[in-house]
Amino acid sequence: MSNNDALLEVENLCVEFGDRRGAVRAVDRISFEVEPGRTLGIVGESGCGKSTTSLAIMGLLPRPAGRITAGAIRLSGTELAGLPENRMRRIRGAEMSMIFQEPMTALNPVYTIGAQMSAVVRRHAGLSRRAARRRALEMLERVGIPLAQRRLAEYPHELSGGMRQRVMIAMALSCRPRLLIADEPTTALDVTTQAQVLEQIKALQRDFDTAVVLITHDLGVVAETCDEVVVMYCGRMVERAPVEALFSAPRHRYTEGLIQAIPKIRTRRLTRLPVVPGSVPDLSELPPGCCFAARCAHADTHCLRRQPALERMGPSRVACFHPADAEPVR
């Protein structure tokens, strides 16, 4: 199934870690597409494979431990899986870039902000030294950094967390990539800063028609920024739906449980919060059937034995033998 409008197509992607004796499948047959100007959210809890998926797309899986064992990743038709590193390096930065949760790990502490930003555009966009400097300044201003000229001469440690994340966004978008992967971009930020940073990403996306893949555990952020959502659990895609459908009519029991369990500000306090019982199973000891069965109130023996396939249900796709019907959840 090829979508002509899609910028990024991921098809049946599988990623494994470890050697033959003890391989763990961290990503198991994930498929999605993203069109220019659209945002796809990948949500799930720690260990669900959402970050691994993004690293696989960027060609940044830790080697030799992690490898793509099956599937395809196409960026405007070009197959990325298996591409040699020198070609990958040209695509990264110019056509797709990534921002991480902790910008300090991606910024070099011994170079000024200006030097790092200029290096990126000179290398990937082929700008002259002076033009690169101008582009860096322009990008810093666009992401709302006050006194941008002065910031160019500063080092990463002189900036606050929110500022650093904005520098990362400015840097990631300075070469006008067609795809931006944002891995928990606001998780380390305070709520008031988080709102500002999300606004910035959205504004730049509108201006440049960038496709965005947003990796997050925060369903609130998903609701406010995404067009489509993939829900992952134990490396598998359990549900994929347009964002309205996901929140108004979650189909998979895990999605339903997650939405109910998010602590939210309520007009009347509950005496008890709804919970998803138990915890996420170990990837090396996955059950033969549905990986959520052990925590699911609707599971029967069928669920324990067989893996449900992804099937269409209205606008959604869901891998569940007993999906929720169209009633909205509270």
Partner 1 sequence: MTERMLEVHALARHFSVRGGILPRRRPVLRAVDGVSFEVGRGQTFGLVGESGCGKSTLGRSILRLLEPTRGRVVLDGAEITGLDSAALKRQRKDMQMIFQDPFASLSPRRTVRQMLQEPLALHVPGSPARRVARVRELLDIVGLGQSALDRYPHEFSGGQRQRIGIARALAVEPKLVVADEPVSALDVSVQSQVLNLLADLQTEFGLSFVFISHDLAVVQHISHFIGVMYLGKLVETAPVDRIYAMPAHPYTRALLDAVPVAGGTRRIRRRALDGEPPSPLNPPGGCPFHTRCPEAMPICSRRVPRTIELEEHGRSHQVRCHLHDPDISQ
Shortest Cβ 251–partner 1 spacing (Å): 14
What is the residue type of 80? L
Residue 274 lies near partner 1 (rule: CB under 8 A):
yes
Site string for partner 1, 141-160 (x = CB under 8 A): -----x-------------x
What is the residue type of 67? R
Give the helix/strand (H/E) hosting 310.
none
Which 3 state secondary structure label does DSSP give 48?
coil
Size of the site for partner 1 (CB under 8 A): 48
Site string for partner 1, 210-239 (x = CB under 8 A): -------xxxxxxxx---------------
Closest CA to 30 of 46, 47, 13, 55: 13
Which 3 state secondary structure label does DSSP give 3?
coil
> Please, which residue, 196 or 307, has the CB nearer to partner 1?
196
Residue 30: count of CB within 10 angstroms of its CB: 24
Shortest Cβ 276–partner 1 spacing (Å): 4
Closest CA to 214 of 7, 5, 50: 50
Shortest Cβ 259–partner 1 spacing (Å): 6
Shortest Cβ 235–partner 1 spacing (Å): 15
Choose which of 66, 71, 162, 289 interacts with partner 1 (CB under 8 A).
Answer: 162
Shortest Cβ 271–partner 1 spacing (Å): 8
Choose which of 14, 196, 286, 287 interacts with partner 1 (CB under 8 A).
Answer: 196
Choose which of 63, 129, 157, 266 interacts with partner 1 (CB under 8 A).
Answer: 266
Q: Strands 39-43, 228-233: parallel, antiparallel or unpaired by DSSP?
A: parallel
Torsion of CA 199, 203, 206, 210, to 10 degrees: -80
